[in-house]
């Protein structure tokens, strides 16, 4: 090429053509390639082109496409306030308050890295593949632009053009009657035309707001299929400028989820003599998301929304592509269902016509009403506005979103009216954050939104399949420990209500106190002297009128449990009075049943009304006698400090210092933190936690308040505000804080676990069960969720559900034994029985088998015998409930834990268990008491 030929021929351009490889020449100034004219000469006037295969006509009256520069500066009526926390069941139910506390999110990564996934669905869900069609079959037989999509191409006009008048059809070429601008909707290329001496046109594929899309064959590169996108109107200077700008950087973009730009060429139109520009792109065969969504129909003909898991899979792939663009300082601007195609098992963005640089303040802005964020008209596009379009697209795909371009153009419908929002709260919260009117409160990056969307997808798939899909969190560590594994209060009374014989007065141990609960062998059900199973609990035992610090059965008095007139600081069943639980006239600061009065659980009777012990779990509508006081209430401060801890921000100045800390005790940690080079957010947060662990709540709150003044929107500060609320008793404030964290990170496990605990201590058992179930279904490594769910199920009277939950704790967990022990007690503890209850017999047999299998799990002999005694005691009650000495017909000839399922066999079994416990006892007094219990249950014999 001569020097003259190397000089750019375009008027006003002083650049020169450079060979960029493979013989392709591009101007080093304007970025355009030379045009090969029919006479073989190089030279042309500058033109431009922009893509638009999936876009509708411009203007709000068109098919949805719009140019921001031509839009009215509308703003959302809700854009001045956040929609955050509107989805929280818990926060709405607390006290009607709403939180003004905001949560800003720092990006957890740039999102620039390539995807490590090899297929659509993130390995979590199978998305039906779309076969690659024959490209020739996609060519339109009669390419026309429908009249309803014909508008003037001038950005400041947009008037309808080419419309029919009476019997006369609309013109495909002419001039706008409003502004006089020319228009043409006739394809400029026909089959057989060769563009740039290389691309042979096959026909038209589609049309859009900015041009026709042609299928062609690249004769210079293995006859590969390519797509040519041309300008609709070469007189539109905005469109030409956008096309030229597009060519300069889009050819450098290479990503598996973005259509490849091969070339930018120009072609002389023989009919008009104009020189038209075209973008040469990769051919992507498949279906657009719009076609996939519209192809799903109900029998009534209405659109059937995509399964939420399939939509999430599409969203994750789209965010991968957007993250790549953002890493190159580019914005996509117009993501929607039209602009993404699934081909086989891959999703690709196909329309790059609206892509612009982040620092571009001159180019026209393209977008679509219903997808574009409300602030773009005023401040322009941004990363946040791109993420907004993904949120809107997910909404359009997952439910019949009527009015998304009008009434709900920048808002979401009430979640109570949308089935997918009611079923998947986390998905709704993700959409709420992605489409927040305040751009600063949306996700900070495409990578962060993709991580949270993947977390939501894991939850959805786990709920649908019943198989957990856990993953390591980038924001939170694992559970610190599992607390409250002992669901039931310790049983120190009689294991059988009907089978224990009373001892005559005057016997040596009639009024002798049983050793305090802590002195005996540890029971998995608890270590404190609380109201428990049949027989109640108290610090002593007295029988048949015995006096002293014991439990009175039929008249006993003392600081124990009275069954029938017993008085004292224990539990009275039948006239018992004192600071315990009275069943039948009991009075005191405990739980009264049938007349009990006091600040405890109980049915209203002669003594007073039902009340709730501070911190105890209560159910809406009240609990029956069988379940009230059945389980130990959650220890909120201890459980709060066992919640997952936020990971240290790698960007914190003291991140390395904290990673090297060896101190584990809170006191030692405070001393070590004082030696930090300089205080930072992370060291101060660690200090707050250490102060809470040492019991210095005032100091922790003061330090937290100081940090909150400096960093009010830091999500870690909000998390520790919730933590402090649980420790100090501000349960409502804690629920509001954790609800804000859930809004910010809907794909994380930790905030749901924290909200479950808040709901439980607030007495909202239904909400607590729902949050615990979400956590346990999604990630079984959080075993505290299983115990929490079982606890609220038992408090709500669902024994069968609690047993299923406890038995679902995997054998690989160190808490499997505790869960199996709790499952045994959940079947039988304080359960009312009668002889004809066949279901009770099934539970007895299942509990006995569970006890026998616990040897495999390493249950120590003392606890095994104690558990065996409880099962045998319940079985004896069941046998005796049918009449003294009678065997219920359902019992047959079965055995239970090696004992016959009749009164004699069960009594021998109880005697054996108590004598074994006596041999394992740690003290003389305890051993004597256990031997006497064995004697009380031993059947009457001559020897």
Q: What are the φ/ψ torsions at residue 260 (nearest 5 degrees)?
A: -85, 130
Q: What is the DSSP string of 409-425?
A: TTS---GGG-HHHHH-H
Cα distance between residue 347 and residue 325, in whole Å: 15
Token pair 């009164």 in the structure block, residue: 903
State the CB neighbour count (10 A cutoff) for residue 384. Answer: 20
Structure-token match 């950005």, residue found: 155
Report the C-alpha gap between 53 and 212 in whole angstroms: 7
The helix/strand/coil state of 67 is: strand
* Annotation says 334 is catalytic: yes
Q: How far is CA 126 from CA 129, 430, 476, 525, 778, in A?
A: 9, 22, 28, 44, 18
On whether the CB atoms of residues 464 and 310 are closer than 8 A, the answer is no
**Residue carrying structure tokens 């899309």:** 213
Q: Is the dihedral of CA 517, 521, 526, 527 positive or negative?
A: positive
Cα–Cα distances in Å, from 361 out to 153, 380, 519, 789, 884? Answer: 21, 8, 78, 54, 93
**Residue in 334, 386, 436, 714 annotated catalytic:** 334
User: What's the DSSP call for residue 403?
Assistant: T
Q: Is 131 within 8 Å of 34 (Cβ atoms)? A: no
Helix (H) or strand (E) holding 267: strand 261-268
Give the CA dihedral 428, 432, 434, 435, nearest 10 degrees.
Answer: 130
Burial class (CB in 10 A: 0-12, 13-18, 19+), 14: exposed
814, with CB counted inside 10 A (0-12, 13-18, 19+), is exposed
Among candidate residues 618, 619, 615, the one with its CA nearest the CA of residue 634 = 615
Q: At what angle do helices 750-761 and 783-795 cross, to 10 degrees?
A: 30
Contact of 415 with 353, CB cutoff 8 Å? no
b/e burial code for range 701-711 (CB count within 10 A of at least 16 → b):
bebbeebbeee
- Segments in 334-381 forming alpha helices (H): 376-379
Number of Cβ within a 10 Å radius of residue 794: 26
C-alpha–C-alpha distance, residues 647 and 590, integer Å: 43
Identify whether the C-beta of residue 540 lies closer than 8 Å to the C-beta of residue 558. yes
Q: Is 715 left (phi over 0), alpha (psi -120 to 50) or beta?
A: alpha
What gap in Å lies between CA 757 and CA 752, rounded to an integer? 9
Three-state SS string over 893-913 comes to CCEECCEECCHHHHHHHHHHH
Radius of gyration over every alpha carbon of the chain, rounded to an integer in angstroms? 37
Active site residues: 334
């Amino acid at each position: 090429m001569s020097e003259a030929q190397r000089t750019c021929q375009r008027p006003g351009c002083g650049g020169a053509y450079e060979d960029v490889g493979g013989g392709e020449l591009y101007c080093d100034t304007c970025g355009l390639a030379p045009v090969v004219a029919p006479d073989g000469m190089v030279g042309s006037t500058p033109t431009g082109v922009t893509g638009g295969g999936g876009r509708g006509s411009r203007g709000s009256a068109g098919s949805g496409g719009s140019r921001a520069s031509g839009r009215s500066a509308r703003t959302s009526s809700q854009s001045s306030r956040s929609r955050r926390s509107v989805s929280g069941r818990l926060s709405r139910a607390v006290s009607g308050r709403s939180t003004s506390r905001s949560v800003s999110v720092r990006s957890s990564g740039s999102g620039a890295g390539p995807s490590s996934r090899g297929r659509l669905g993130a390995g979590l869900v199978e998305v039906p593949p779309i076969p690659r069609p024959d490209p020739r079959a996609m060519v339109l037989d009669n390419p026309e632009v429908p009249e309803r999509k014909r508008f003037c191409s001038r950005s400041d006009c947009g008037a309808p053009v080419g419309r029919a008048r009476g019997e006369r059809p609309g013109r495909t070429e002419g001039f706008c009657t409003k502004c006089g601008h020319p228009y043409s909707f006739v394809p400029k290329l026909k089959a057989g035309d060769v563009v740039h001496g290389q691309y042979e046109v096959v026909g038209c594929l589609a049309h859009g707001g900015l041009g026709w899309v042609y299928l062609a064959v690249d004769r210079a590169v293995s006859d590969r299929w390519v797509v040519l996108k041309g300008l609709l109107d070469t007189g539109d200077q905005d469109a030409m400028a956008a096309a030229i700008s597009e060519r300069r950087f889009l050819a450098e973009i290479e990503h598996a989820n973005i259509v490849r730009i091969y070339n930018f060429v120009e072609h002389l139109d023989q009919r008009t003599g104009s020189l038209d520009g075209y973008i040469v792109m990769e051919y992507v065969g498949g279906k657009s998301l719009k076609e996939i969504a519209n192809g799903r129909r109900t029998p009534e003909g209405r659109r059937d929304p995509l399964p939420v898991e399939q939509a999430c899979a599409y969203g994750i792939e789209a965010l991968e592509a957007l993250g790549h663009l953002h890493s190159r300082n580019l914005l996509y601007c117009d993501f929607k269902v039209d602009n993404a195609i699934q081909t086989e098992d891959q999703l690709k963005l196909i329309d790059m016509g609206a892509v612009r640089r982040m620092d571009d303040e001159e180019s026209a802005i393209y977008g679509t009403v219903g997808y574009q964020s409300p602030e773009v008209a005023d401040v322009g596009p941004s990363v946040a506005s791109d993420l907004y379009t993904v949120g809107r697209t997910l909404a359009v795909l997952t439910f019949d979103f009527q009015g998304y371009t009008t009434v709900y153009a920048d808002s979401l419908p009430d979640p109570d009216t949308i089935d997918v929002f009611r079923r998947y709260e986390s998905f709704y919260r993700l959409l709420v954050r992605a489409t927040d009117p305040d751009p600063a409160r949306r996700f900070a990056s495409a990578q962060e939104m993709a991580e949270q969307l993947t977390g939501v997808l894991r939850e959805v798939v786990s709920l649908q399949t019943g198989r957990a899909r856990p993953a390591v969190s980038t924001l939170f560590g694992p559970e610190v420990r599992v607390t409250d594994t002992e669901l039931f209060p310790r049983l120190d009374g009689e294991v059988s209500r009907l089978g224990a014989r009373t001892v005559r007065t005057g016997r040596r141990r009639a009024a002798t106190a049983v050793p305090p609960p802590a002195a005996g062998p540890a029971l998995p059900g608890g270590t404190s002297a609380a109201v428990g199973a049949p027989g109640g609990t108290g610090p002593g035992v007295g029988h048949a009128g015995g006096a002293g610090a014991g439990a009175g059965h039929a008249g006993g008095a003392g600081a124990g449990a009275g069954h029938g007139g017993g008085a004292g600081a224990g539990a009275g069943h039948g006239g018992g009075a004192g600071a315990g639980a009275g069943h039948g006239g009991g009075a005191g600061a405990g739980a009264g049943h049938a007349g009990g009065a006091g600040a405890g659980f109980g049915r209203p009777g002669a003594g007073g009304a039902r009340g709730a012990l501070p911190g105890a779990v209560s159910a809406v509508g009240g609990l029956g006698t069988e379940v009230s006081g059945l389980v130990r209430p959650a220890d909120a401060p201890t459980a709060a400090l066992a919640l997952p801890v936020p990971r240290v921000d790698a960007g914190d100045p003291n991140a390395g210092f904290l990673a090297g800390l060896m101190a584990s005790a809170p006191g030692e940690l405070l001393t070590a933190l004082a030696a930090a080079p300089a205080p930072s957010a992370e060291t101060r947060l660690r200090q707050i936690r250490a102060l809470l662990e040492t019991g210095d709540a005032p100091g922790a709150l003061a330090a937290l308040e100081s940090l909150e003044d400096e960093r009010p929107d830091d999500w870690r500060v909000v998390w520790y505000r919730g933590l402090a609320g649980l420790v100090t008793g501000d349960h409502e404030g804690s629920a509001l804080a954790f609800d804000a964290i859930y809004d910010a990170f809907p794909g994380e496990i930790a905030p749901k676990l924290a909200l479950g605990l808040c709901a439980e201590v607030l007495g909202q058992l239904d909400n607590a069960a729902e949050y615990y179930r979400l956590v346990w279904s999604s990630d079984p490594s959080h075993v505290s969720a299983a115990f929490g769910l079982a606890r609220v199920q038992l408090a709500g009277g669902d024994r069968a559900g609690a047993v299923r939950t406890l038995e679902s704790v995997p054998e690989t967990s160190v808490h499997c034994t505790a869960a199996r022990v709790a499952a045994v007690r959940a079947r039988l503890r304080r359960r009312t029985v009668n002889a004809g209850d066949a279901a009770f017999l099934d539970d007895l047999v299942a509990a006995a088998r569970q006890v026998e299998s616990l040897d495999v799990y390493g249950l120590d002999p003392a606890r095994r015998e104690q558990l065996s005694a409880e099962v045998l005691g319940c079985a004896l009650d069941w046998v005796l409930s049918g009449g003294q000495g009678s065997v219920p017909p359902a019992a047959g000839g079965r055995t239970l834990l090696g004992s016959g399922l009749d009164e004699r066999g069960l009594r021998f079994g109880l005697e054996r268990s108590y004598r074994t416990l006596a041999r394992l006892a740690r003290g003389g007094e305890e051993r004597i008491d256990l031997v006497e219990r064995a004697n009380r249950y031993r059947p009457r014999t001559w020897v």
